[in-house]
Structure 1
Amino acid sequence: MPIAIKMPALSPTMEEGTLAKWLVKPGDTISSGDIMAEIETDKATMEFEAVDEGTLASIAVEEGTEGVKVGTVIAMLGEEGEDVDAVAKAGADSSDESDEAAPAATSSAGTDDGAKDAGKEPDAKQEPKPASQSAPKPAPAPAPEGDRIIASPLAKRIAEQQGIDLASLTGSGPNGRIVKADVEAAEAGSAAPAKSRNDSTAEMAAPRKPSKTPAESEYGAPYEEEKLSSVRKIIARRLTESKQQVPHYYLAVDVRLDALLDLRKQLNATLEADGIKLSVNDLLIKALARALMRVPQCNVSFQGETIHKYSRADVSVAVAAPSGLITPIVTEADTRGLASISTTMKALAEKAREGKLQPHEYQGGTASLSNLGMFGIKQFDAVINPPQGMIMAVGAGEPRPYVIDGALQVATVMTASGSFDHRAIDGADGAQLMEAFKNLCENPMGLVV
């Protein structure tokens, strides 16, 4: 029995996605667990695994197609022993029937003419009256018996309206299927007025002005247009909503890192035999998580009419991936050991860069950490990731003049800036969190006990 492969829901909130790339082709043998396609969701590009076995008969949705609704048939799979061509044809037939059912129903809705003819026996051969007084275009000649033309329902309707013979077209869709674009191309070709030989010669002889893009014409700067990915669209929408709807306020503190760097050096010497190397970011993740537990009124999210107060700290960490910014989550960061945070973060960052994060690995989080110190950034203010109530932005640790025990000395100092949602977190509470974060970084033994 033919098996319809449908667009999967790869996250609880996914309603549609982009079929980024097919990794199989018609005729391939498919086994359960095989990677069939790459699908771009609102957060990442994810691999789609087969759950059934058989031979791929046809592909209904071409790669690169955007806005494919969850549940849409994207391919047909034939089971062992089935005729692949018959399965492909069955898939096309079922698509035709489903697409044509709606127009048939709406065309019988009550119109003035229908009301006048109520009670009369309908004539199956009666054609609807044309909307204008112009003569209708002749219908195309039917295809010879036994020579079935495969075309989408929309392509068939357009061809019938414009008097185009489908048998004269070559389809560009899956398995040579004639689609709307093929019919429109034929229509445009037939509508173009014929030119005389003299007209053509004159046109060829006339000098042509070099074409310019709009940007070159207006500003003189050449450019290449790049279409927004689904991930970039979501980033743009969510961050715009955050800045427009969330009342941000910002608090910054300077943090002396010398003790934290010394502790990291000692721990790495101990963990080297286990193949673990702690980064400064690993310790900052733990510091933020512990600070959130010390100041629980900041470990919250605004939910409209309510506020959610969390009993553990799940820290979302900003990672720059090829498709755009994504925030994998280190869950229970307040109770994890530093070695566990380090190995977990490395694995999540690698999966993020490869576009292989699963929804549960990036959805949620009680607060966020964004670190641009590796780029030499001294200080910045990050945008809150709703519905979270805060995000900590940290810059580079660098030698600066610093007063230690009443004397001016040189210390390694980092500026940390917290962005807070004033709807959920008051200024005094935000200040307490920044103080707790600073104390944990400057007295880092609190991170290992």
Structure 2
Amino acid sequence: MPIELKMPALSPTMEEGTLAKWLVKEGDTVKSGDLLAEIETDKATMEFEAIDEGVVSQILVAEGTDNVKVGTVIATITGEGEEVGAKAAPAPAAEPKAEAPAPAKDFAPAEAGAAPVSAPTPPVPASAGTTDKGDRIKASPLARRLAAEQGIDLKSLTGTGPGGRIVKADLDGAPAGAAAPAATAAPAAAATTAALAPTTAGPIPDFGIPHQDEKLSGMRKTIARRLSQSMQEAPHIYLTVDIRLDALLKLRGELNASLESRGVKLSVNDMLIKALAVALERVPACNVSFGGDVMRKYSRADISVAVSIPGGLITPIITDAGGKSMSKISTEMAELAGRAKEGKLKPEEYQGGTASISNMGMMGIKQFTAVINPPQAMIMAIGAGEKRPYIVDDALAIATVMSATGSFDHRAIDGADGALLMKTFKELVENPLGLVA
């Protein structure tokens, strides 16, 4: 029998991806280890390798196809001695069960279209439009929810998803009809559900302003989803300190002079990454994640560093930043940032981390508050270092000062512990020899 190639799960949380490019064509002979395709996840483009040997007999998903579910058959390979022309029909993709919530996963990030609390999906008449096994309309859970909210009759739509399934894109421009009968039942419960569900923006009204609409990338959708999740679920508390940078800048100059022969040049951000990691080790109550009925306490400080890339933001991770030298952090950060901008990071290089740091100082931003990156419980926002009037040794002087603001998940971190972390971070930056000890 032909061997089915299925859309792989390239990260623990991946549910769908874009088949960006085929690197083979029908009739090509492949062997184990050959590159078959490039798959785009929400954060990176990764290569898909062959495991089996044979001839590519059929390509079932065209390159450029978005929202291909993990497990969908995308191609078939005919093994040695089999007839190449015998093309097996692809197995239908498993219909997601919208009615029964999946068991909770320990510290799993929220998924794309899932609402934290939702009412059961109303039953659909067996006679409706395109059906699955003749008993209900084939539609994704997200499409069902949006159709119910917008009063769109799914029976009037033609699905363009795998196997004729109705997906979110099929709802765009669809005329609103009578809302599903079940949508009017229990209005109080429905209102509560809508209030708890992540906001889904509808069509933008046309005010006659010249414009063009650009389809959102998977990365931008993920950013929007995760930031909404964070602000809705995690009660943020913000704590700000002003930090004098003169001693750190002086030490940076001395270290860079000694590291020049090794081709290493420390940035202020490299030193702040180290300072945050050491501060988290000294205040372990802030190096945690909230998990509903458990608190996860980390024994290592892995720092996620916000890096702006074309189309969005990604957070490569410096693992065990507290245990690494600043020169090692600098080398790793340069290499990770370079591959991040090329979309070549591996999932384990940007998924995880115990806390984050976001620095907008290089763009002249004096102070800002950052949104926590779940399931982490804190993020440090770094503003620009600037000359300010400052009290030095009980006298007014001019000093280089920056403002740093910590955002803390108040479910996991008490204000006093957050304040202690900010105090410790400030002391480490103002007395930076502790970073090289």
Match of 1:383 in 2: 371
Where does the alignment leave 5 or more consecutive residues of structure 1 unmatched? 103-130, 132-152, 154-178, 182-213
Q: What is the total number of aligned residue pairs between the two structures? A: 337
Counterpart residue type for residue 339 of structure 1:
S
TM-score by length of 2: 0.72
Structure 2: distance between partners of 1:269 and 1:30:
52
Q: Does 1:440 align with 2:437?
A: no
354-363 vs 32-41, which moves further = 32-41
Superposed, 1:142-153 pairs within 5 Å as none
Match of 1:329 in 2: 317
Q: Does 1:90 align with 2:71?
A: no
- Runs of 4+ deviating beyond 6 Å: none
Distance 1:16 1:334, change over 3 A: same
Match of 1:41 in 2: 41
Match of 2:112 in 1: none
How far does the alpha carbon of each residue in 1:290-334 deviate from its partner, in whole angstroms, 9 at most, with x for none? 000111111111110111111110111111122421111111011
Superposed, 1:85-124 pairs within 5 Å as 86=85, 89-91=86-88, 94-95=89-90, 98-99=91-92
Shift of 1:33: 3.3
Structure 2: distance between partners of 1:346 and 1:282:
10
The structure richer in helix per residue is: 1
Structure 1: distance between partners of 2:263 and 2:355:
29
Counterpart residue type for residue 227 of structure 1:
K
Counterpart residue type for residue 313 of structure 1:
A
Match of 2:50 in 1: 50
373-382 vs 343-352, which moves further = 343-352
How far does the alpha carbon of each residue in 1:79-110 deviate from its partner, in whole angstroms, 9 at most, with x for none? 467654x1xx413xx22xx45999xxxxxxxx
Match of 2:273 in 1: 285
Distance 1:31 1:281, change over 3 A: farther
Residue among 305, 308, 317 paired with 2:305: 317
**What is the percentage of aligned positions where both structures have the same residue?**
66
Shift of 1:24: 2.9
Q: Does 1:73 align with 2:73?
A: yes
8 Å contact kept, 1:44–1:323 = no
8 Å contact kept, 2:58–2:87 = no
How far does the alpha carbon of each residue in 1:117-158 deviate from its partner, in whole angstroms, 9 at most, with x for none? xxxxxxxxxxxxxx9xxxxxxxxxxxxxxxxxxxxx9xxxxx
Structure 2: distance between partners of 1:238 and 1:246:
11
After superposition, the CA RMSD in angstroms is 2.7
Larger Rg, first or second structure (1 or 2):
1
Structure 2: distance between partners of 1:412 and 1:100:
60
Structure 2: distance between partners of 1:408 and 1:81:
87
Structure 2: distance between partners of 1:20 and 1:292:
40
Structure 2: distance between partners of 1:237 and 1:376:
28
Match of 2:26 in 1: 26
Distance 1:100 1:413, change over 3 A: closer
Distance 1:47 1:324, change over 3 A: farther
Where does the alignment leave 5 or more consecutive residues of structure 2 unmatched? 96-126, 128-132, 134-162, 166-202
Counterpart residue type for residue 19 of structure 2:
L
Structure 2: distance between partners of 1:32 and 1:273:
44
Shift of 1:29: 4.2
Distance 1:374 1:31, change over 3 A: farther
For the residue of structure 1 that corresponds to 2:349, the secondary structure is helix
Q: Does 1:346 align with 2:334?
A: yes
Shift of 1:31: 4.4
8 Å contact kept, 1:9–1:70 = yes
8 Å contact kept, 1:298–1:433 = yes
Counterpart residue type for residue 376 of structure 1:
G
8 Å contact kept, 2:45–2:344 = yes
Match of 2:380 in 1: 392
Structure 2: distance between partners of 1:49 and 1:362:
21
Distance 1:278 1:32, change over 3 A: farther
How far does the alpha carbon of each residue in 1:220-269 deviate from its partner, in whole angstroms, 9 at most, with x for none? 32222121222221211111011111110101111111111111111111
